[in-house]
Amino acid sequence: MFYNAYLFHHLNPLLVPFPLYSPSSFPPPSPIFIAEQTPEAPSILISSVPSDSRIPDTIMMMMHPKMMEMWPTMGSAIASFLFVWAMVKKYCPYQLRRQLEKYCHRITGSFYPYINITFDEYAGVGLKRSEAYNAVEAYLSTYISKSAKRLKAEMVKDGSNMMLSMEQSGRVVDDFNGVKVWWIFRNIETPSRPEQEKRYYILSFHKRYRDVITGAYLEHVIRKGNEIRSRNRRMKLYTNSAGDRSISKRAMWSQIVFEHPATFETMALESDKKKDIIEDLETFSKSKEFYSRTGKAWKRGYLLYGPPGTGKSTMIAAMANYLNYDVYDLELTAVKDNVELRRLLIEIAEKSILVIEDIDCSLDLTGERMKVTAGMEEEEEGAAKAAVEGRRRVPNDEAGGDMSKVTLSGLLNFIDGLWSTCGSERLVVFTTNYVEKLDPALIRRGRMDKHIELSYCSFEGFKVFAKNYLGLEVHEIFKKVQHLMGEVKITPADMAENLMPTSPTDDPEKCLSRLVEALEEMKAEGTKNVAAGK
Ligand SMILES: Nc1ncnc2c1ncn2[C@@H]1O[C@H](COP(=O)(O)OP(=O)(O)OP(=O)(O)O)[C@@H](O)[C@H]1O
Ligand SMILES: [Mg+2]
C-alpha cells in the first residue's frame, strides 16, 4: 500500500476541536470512509468508530502520497468542518441538531458511493454466535495473512495447521471477478456487555456492484468459509460451571479442545449393540431432510444407563468422535434457574452433543421420585439418596450455597418444547446409574429416543480389551477367563484396570494371569457373601 497514515491525538493542535467531537453524531452516516485504492482516484480513509463505542483516543487518517500536496488545504478544511460540527453539537438545541444531522446524512449519503454490510458476531437476540460471522472469519483467514498486520493464530485440526484471524481493527481487500471489496474488522468494548467485546466485520463495496456482491459473492464467501471451517474443525468440549460467574455474574460455557481417544473400535461392547448404535447415529446425521419433512426438530435423545464403570462416559466420547460433534457437558446443579438454563442451551451450536451426566443426581426432581422407588430396598435407597444429596451439594456450594432452581418442566421444555427447535443436529444424552429412579416423563420415548443399557463386561467385550490392551486375539488363558466370567460380574472399568500392564516388564501373559486372579478373588468373595447370607 502506498498510503501514509496519520494518527491524530486529542491534543494535536491541528485538530483542537477533537475533544468536543463525539463519534455518536459524526457525519456522514457511515462510520467508515473507504479509500479508493487506485492512484487515479485517491481519497482519504478516516477510521472512526460506530456510535455504541467509546470515544477513541486517536483517529487514523490514511491518504495517498499524491494527496500530500493538498494536505494543508484539506487538513484545515477538515479541521474547520469538525470544529463547526463540534460547536453545533455543543450549542445547538437538540431538535435543531437532529434536523441538521438528518440533512447532513442525506447529503453525504447521496454522494457516498459505498454500501456497507455488517456481520455481527452475535446475531438475533445476541445469544448465539452468528453462523455468517463464523463463515466470514474462516473465509478471511486465507486472505488476511497476505494483507492484515495484526493477526491472531489458532491451531486447527491435528495441530498441523493454523487459522489466522484479525486481532484488532483491521482491513483486507478481496477481489471477486475483478470487483474489489473491502472487509473491515472491528472489536470494541460496549458498555452494555462489558464482559464481552463487540466484534463484527463490515463488507464495503461500490454501490454499482450491489447485485453481484449481495448475490454471488456472499454465496461464495459463505460456501468457502464453511468448507474451511469443516476442514479445520477441532472438536470442543464445553462446560458450564458456577466458577465462571465471577466476571459476568452468570454461568457461561467455557471450552477446551476435545481430544478423547475413545472410539467404537476401542469400546468393549457386544458387536450387535455397537452396530446398532453406529447405524442409529449414522441415520440421524443424514436425516436432515426427514426431520424437516416430518416437522420434527432435528435432534435425538439417548439415555445411557448402567452401573458405574460400564462405559457411559466413554460411549459419549466415542459418539462425539464418530460424528465429529462438539460436546456440551451441562452441570445442571450449577445452573441457577430455568432462565439461565435457556440461555445456556440457546448458545449450543449445531452438530453437538448435549450431555447431562448422572441426571438422577442433577435436579431437585428426585423428591417425588424417591417416594416412587417402592421396590428399592430401604438401605439401598438411603445410600442412593445420600449419594445424590452429596453430589448435589458440592457444585451449589461453589455457586454460593443457593440451590439450583431448574425444574423438570424447565428442562423438558428445552428437550422437546418450543425451544428445542433452536439449533439443529443435536444429540441429547443423559446418563444415570439408577434408571428406575428417573421420572418417567423425562425418559419417555420421543424424549429419550434410544435407551442403551451398558452393563457388565461380556466375553466379547473382554476380547476387545485383550486385543487393544495386550495385542492378543487368542490365548489359552482365554478359556479360563470365559469360564470365570460366566460366574462373576466384572465391569469394563475393572477389566481395563486388571489388564493394564503395571510395569515395563509385564508381558501379556502376566496381565491375563492377573485378571484370572482378580476374577477368582471376586468369585471367592461372592461365595463368602452368599454363605454369610448377604
Ligand atoms: N465398554 C468399555 N470399553 C472400553 N473401556 C471401558 C468401557 N467401559 C469402561 N471402560 C473404561 O473404564 C473407565 C471408566 O469408564 P466410564 O467413565 O466410561 O464409566 P461410566 O459408566 O461413565 O461410569 P460412571 O457411572 O461412574 O460415570 C474408562 O476410562 C474406560 O477406560
Ligand atoms: Mg461417567
**Tens-place pLDDT, residues 218-251:** 999 999 988 888 877 778 899 986 554 544 555 5
- Residue scoring higher pLDDT (21 or 340): 340
Cβ(42) to ligand 1 under 6 A? no
Question: Is the CB of 496 within 6 Å of ligand 1?
Answer: yes
ipTM above 0.90, yes or no: yes
pLDDT at 495: 92
Residue 363 exposure: Cα atoms within 13 Å on the Cβ side: 25
| 47 touches ligand 1 (CB under 6 Å) | no
Stretch 478-485: mean pLDDT: 92
Nearest CA to ligand 1 atom 4: 267
CA of 428 from ligand 2 middle (Å) equals: 15
* Residue 98 pLDDT class (50, 70, 90 cuts): confident
The residues, ordered by sequence, that sit 6+ positions from 173 with a Cβ below 8 Å of its Cβ are 37, 147, 180, 181, 182, 183
Does the Cβ of 309 fall within 6 Å of ligand 1? yes
CB of 433 shorter than 6 A to ligand 1? yes
| pTM of the shown model | 0.64
Q: Is 267 in the pocket of ligand 1 (CB under 6 A)?
A: yes
If one compares 424 and 23, the residue with the highest pLDDT of the two is 424
- The overall average pLDDT reported for the chain is 73
Atom of ligand 1 nearest to the CA of 457: 1
Does ligand 1 lie within 6 Å of residue 268's CB atom? yes
pLDDT at 302: 94
pLDDT in the model for residue 531: 64
pLDDT at 464: 92
CB atoms within 10 A of CB 420: 21
Q: Separation of 269 CA from ligand 2 center, angstroms?
A: 16
Ligand 1: distance of its center to the CA of 48 in Å? 56
Ligand nearest to the CA of 262: 1
Confidence check: pLDDT of 175 > 70:
yes
- Is 447 a pocket residue for ligand 1 (Cβ < 6 Å)? no
Any atom of ligand 1 within 6 Å of the Cβ of 310: yes
Closest CA to ligand 1's atom 11? 493
Residue 333 CB less than 6 A away from ligand 1: no
CB 317 near ligand 1, within 6 Å: no
485 pLDDT more than 70:
yes
For residue 299, pLDDT over 60 is answered with: yes
* Residue 389, pLDDT above cutoff 90: no
Is any ligand 1 atom within 6 A of the Cβ of residue 311? yes
Predicted pLDDT at 259: 87
Alpha carbons 112 and 105: distance in angstroms, whole number: 10
CA distance 205 to 114: 5
| Of residues 492 and 49, more confidently modeled | 492
pLDDT computed for residue 395 by the predictor: 40
Report CA Rg, the chain.
31
Nearest Cα neighbor of 404 from 329, 343, 333 is: 333
User: Highest mean pLDDT range out of 27-41, 178-192, 319-333?
Assistant: 319-333
What is the pLDDT, as a whole number, of residue 516? 93
Kindly state the percentage of the chain with pLDDT values over 70: 63
Q: Nearest 5°: CA angle at 310, between 304 and 315? A: 55
Q: Is 61 in the pocket of ligand 1 (CB under 6 A)?
A: no
User: Which candidate, 123, 185, 189, 118, places its Cα nearest to that of 152?
Assistant: 185
The pLDDT value recorded for residue 467 is 92
Q: What is the pLDDT of residue 275?
A: 94
pLDDT at 263: 93
Domains delineated in the chain? 4-112 (no CATH), 116-232 (no CATH), 238-453 (3.40.50.300), 459-531 (no CATH)
Q: Tell me which range, 60-69, 112-121, 281-290, 395-404, is most confidently predicted by mean pLDDT.
A: 281-290
* Nearest CA owner, ligand 1 atom 7: 311
Does the pLDDT of residue 382 top 60, yes or no? no
Nearest CA to ligand 1 atom 25: 308
Q: How confident is the model at residue 11 (pLDDT cuts 50, 70, 90)?
A: very low
Rounded CA gap, 333 and 264, in Å? 30
Ligand 1 in reach of 186 Cβ (< 6 A): no
Q: What pLDDT score does 458 carry?
A: 92
Distance between CA atoms of residues 365 and 386, nearest Å = 15
User: Which residues are found with C-beta within 5 Å of the ion, ligand 2?
Assistant: 312-313
Pocket test for ligand 1, best of 273, 313, 355 (most atoms within 8 A of CB): 313
Atom of ligand 1 nearest to the CA of 306: 21
β-strands 426-432, 352-356: how paired? parallel
Of 102-111, 146-155, 277-286, 318-327, least confident by mean pLDDT is 146-155
Q: Is residue 384 in contact with ligand 1, taking CB distance under 6 Å?
A: no
pLDDT of res. 66? 61
The residues, ordered by sequence, that sit 6+ positions from 295 with a Cβ below 8 Å of its Cβ are none
- Round to whole Å and give the CA distance between 426 and 68: 58
Query: Residue 190: pLDDT band by 50, 70, 90 thresholds?
Result: low
Whether residue 387 has its Cβ less than 6 Å from ligand 1: no
Q: How many CB atoms neighbour CB 456 within 10 A?
A: 17
Nearest CA to ligand 1 atom 27: 308
Pocket test for ligand 1, best of 260, 265, 269, 314 (most atoms within 8 A of CB): 314
Q: What are phi and psi of 525, to 5 degrees?
A: -60, -45
pLDDT at residue 475 greater than cutoff 80: yes
How many whole angstroms from 496 Cα to the centroid of ligand 2? 15
pLDDT of 50 reads 37
Average pLDDT, integer, range 400-427: 72
Q: Which residue has the higher pLDDT, 160 or 245?
A: 160
Quick check: CB of 423 below 6 Å from ligand 1?
no
Q: Average of pLDDT values for 436-440?
A: 83
At 192 the pLDDT is: 60
| Nearest alpha carbon, ligand 1 atom 30 | 493
pLDDT of residue 35: 30
The alpha carbon of 494 and the centre of ligand 2 are apart by a number of angstroms equal to: 14
Q: Which of 24-38, 100-114, 182-196 has the highest mean pLDDT?
A: 100-114
* Residues 348-363, mean pLDDT to the nearest whole number: 86
